[in-house]
Chain A
Amino acid sequence: MGTVVSFDVRNSDVPAEALDRAVEYLHDIDRRFSPYKTDSEVSRIMRGELAVDDASPDVRWIMGLCDELTRLTDGYFDARGFRADGLPDPTGIVKGWAVEEAAYILIDSGATDFLVNGGGDIVARGSPVPGSSEPWRVGIQHPLERHKLAAVLEVRDGAVATSGTYERGEHVVDPHTGQPATDLVSLTVVGRSLTFADGYATAAFAMGRKGAEWLAGLDDYEAFAITSDGLTLATPGLPRVQNETPVA
């Protein structure tokens, strides 16, 4: 899907073949889910050539998950509604889900301290220094100053997903209006599951700054939003490093 996925595993006893399996898994997901591959199941579904019920179990599960997210977000995550032809487009959560599944392959192989990053969708476990209490430090990209960060998060066991419009001016559409959501430039969600963090980030971004308020009401998820007028909104539980001293 045009995304670089990097694996940073700090446990020396995790077999290399576990990483190979995780990578192969991602390639398989790409083959079946990529909308950029004309013969992927998702492409065929989006062209109306394949019914969801006839697709592979993973694909059917993702479509069901999309419907569940639509329900959870009051329609702000919508894999069906805003397409003119009514056909589904699940790509909003496939990346987060795939990276999360790849992380579980590592966990099942005994990895306890790692960070997987698929184009900004991150799963972290344990510590970059196994056995210590040091957390993984995840920077949130600054929307305007490309080589800088807007915030730094500390994560030990959790997921980070960011939705936004920094690159290529692409817009997340508000499914209720069909118009691009322009109130926010960036929204980062931190929480238990990358699949849901990804879906919630997309949905909350479409809500505008109200999305940050909505996320504040969720138990297992925290948020950091950057508005189009240069303000940041953070939920109080966000694991953010405060007063970061700029490194010159």
Chain B
Amino acid sequence: MPKRATFALVITAAGLALLLSFKTPSATNAPIGGSANVISGAAGGASASVSTGSTSGPRTAAGGPTGTTTTSGSAKAGTYTGTATQTRYGTVQVQVTVANGQVTNVLALQYPSGNPHSSSISQFAVPTLVNETLQAQTAQINAVSGATYTSQGFVQSLQSALVQAGA
């Protein structure tokens, strides 16, 4: 238990710094990746993959022994609103609630789809996600995975081209 608390403190310090720094005006055109760690409740980008054993279904918070989001004595209770950040897809603005040294709620006040959604964060670990703006890339690859089924489309033709090219 003490070991876990220490780990949590380390994560928290980084995590909260990230949360609170979001509040300061930023001159850069921050992609959603900069703020979305907050939306997902992730702490400082530390990869805490949650061990839950067998799952019983979808949930917004999962219990687990490794990695917690935020528990720190230095976090002041209250609600913090991040700056509205312009992204290519629209405006993102996040609000965070802190109570008892923990982040207890993360709410997207503004979200490009126009649909606000909130993630409730329990006192246990939260599945962390990394959120970025969709980019387009080309690259040297061996295969493509796409949502095709009975398809005459891109994946199939690219596949056959790769085979011909001996890639």
Contacts and interface: CB of A to CB of B under 8 A. Distances in A.
Nearest to B89: A230
Contacts of B147: 120, 141, 143, 162-167, 186
Contacts, number: 235
Given A120-B147, A146-B154, A228-B113, A115 B134 contact: no
A23 interface: no
A140 B32 CA distance: 20
A188 B145 CA distance: 8
Contacts of B141: 137-139, 149, 152
Contacts of A40: none
Given A6-B160, A138-B142, A140-B146, A232 B52 contact: no
A210 B57 CA distance: 11
Given A152-B141, A167-B148, A217 B133 contact: no
Contacts of B112: 229-231
B149 A170 contact: yes
Contacts of B130: 233-236
Contact of A139 (B45, B59, B62, B139): B139
A150 interface: yes
Contacts of A204: 58
B127 A213 contact: yes
Q: Which one of A119, A128, A144, A153 has the highest number of Cβ atoms from chain B below 10 Å of its Cβ?
A: A119
B142 A8 contact: yes
B144 interface: yes
Contacts of A137: 139-143
B71 interface: no
B144 to A, nearest CB: 5
A162 B143 contact: no
Contacts of A151: 137
Nearest to A211: B58
A190 to B, nearest CB: 9
B155 interface: yes
26 contacts: A3-B150, A3-B151, A4-B156, A8-B142, A74-B57, A95-B149, A115-B142, A120-B147, A121-B145, A128-B142, A140-B146, A144-B136, A147-B154, A149-B144, A150-B135, A152-B137, A166-B148, A188-B145, A214-B57, A217-B59, A229-B111, A233-B40, A236-B45, A236-B128, A237-B49, A246-B136
Interface of B: 32, 36, 40, 42, 45, 47-60, 62, 64, 88-90, 111-113, 117, 119, 126-151, 153-156, 159-160, 163
Given A166-B147, A210-B60, 13 more contacts: A4-B160, A119-B150, A120-B144, A143-B147, A150-B136, A167-B146, A210-B58, A213-B60, A214-B58, A217-B127, A229-B90, A236-B45, A247-B138
